[in-house]
Amino acid sequence: MQNLRITKYVSDWLRLAEDDIATVEILIKENISPNSICFHSQQAVEKLLKGFLAYQEKNVRKVHDIKMLVSLCEEIDKEFSDLYDEADYFSKFYIETRYPGDFPEFSWTEAKEAFEAAKKIKEFVLAKIK
């Protein structure tokens, strides 16, 4: 993989992902809202994947579909196909955590699994950027 320079744009994406991860850590520590944990885990993954795309100097689209973002990353690096299971898992955490009426209650187990998946993707993406 080519060694590209980490621009401010790339580091901004990574910083925003770190903010979501830090938020999840606080929510877990304080035993607050599995739904918020799921949402911020999804947001961290979205921003990490967009950070990778920015690092590769690709257009970062305004999409929230993790599977689509993984697919875009896979066009650059085939190893991203290893993330499809996690990407599929995150698909239920964006819209469903935002709108009342269709608002499911996610469990603490789902919240912790989402955070573990987010940390796995973080390690994967950061290894690709270094």
Any residues with CB less than 8 A from the CB of 18 and at least 6 apart, and which? 44
- Give how far Cα 115 sits from Cα of 2, 11, 18, Å: 30, 21, 12
Closest by CA position to 93, among listed 57, 77, 117, 76: 117
Does residue 1 belong to any structural domain of this protein?
Answer: no
Does residue 98 belong to any structural domain of this protein?
Answer: yes
Does residue 91 belong to any structural domain of this protein?
Answer: yes
Which domain range does residue 90 map to?
8-129
Q: How many domains does the chain have?
A: 1
- CA-CA distance, 67 to 5, in Å (whole number)? 26
Q: How much is the pLDDT for 40?
A: 95
Does residue 3 belong to any structural domain of this protein?
Answer: no
Q: How much is the pLDDT for 123?
A: 97
- Cα torsion 80, 83, 85, 91 to 10°: value is -100
Does residue 2 belong to any structural domain of this protein?
Answer: no
Any residues with CB less than 8 A from the CB of 91 and at least 6 apart, and which? 65, 66, 67
Any idea what the CATH number is for the domain that residue 109 is in? 1.20.120.330
Q: How much is the pLDDT for 59?
A: 86
Does residue 92 belong to any structural domain of this protein?
Answer: yes
- Give how far Cα 76 sits from Cα of 25, 34, 37, 43, Å: 31, 33, 30, 22
The pTM of this model reads 0.90
Does residue 35 belong to any structural domain of this protein?
Answer: yes
Q: How much is the pLDDT for 99?
A: 62
| Tens-level pLDDT at each residue, the chain (130 residues) | 445 678 999 999 999 999 999 999 999 999 999 999 999 999 999 999 999 999 999 988 888 889 999 999 999 999 999 999 888 888 877 665 556 666 678 899 999 999 999 999 999 999 999 7
Q: How much is the pLDDT for 130?
A: 79
Q: How much is the pLDDT for 1?
A: 43
Closest by CA position to 69, among listed 39, 44, 98, 103: 44
- CA-CA distance, 13 to 16, in Å (whole number)? 5
Does residue 18 belong to any structural domain of this protein?
Answer: yes
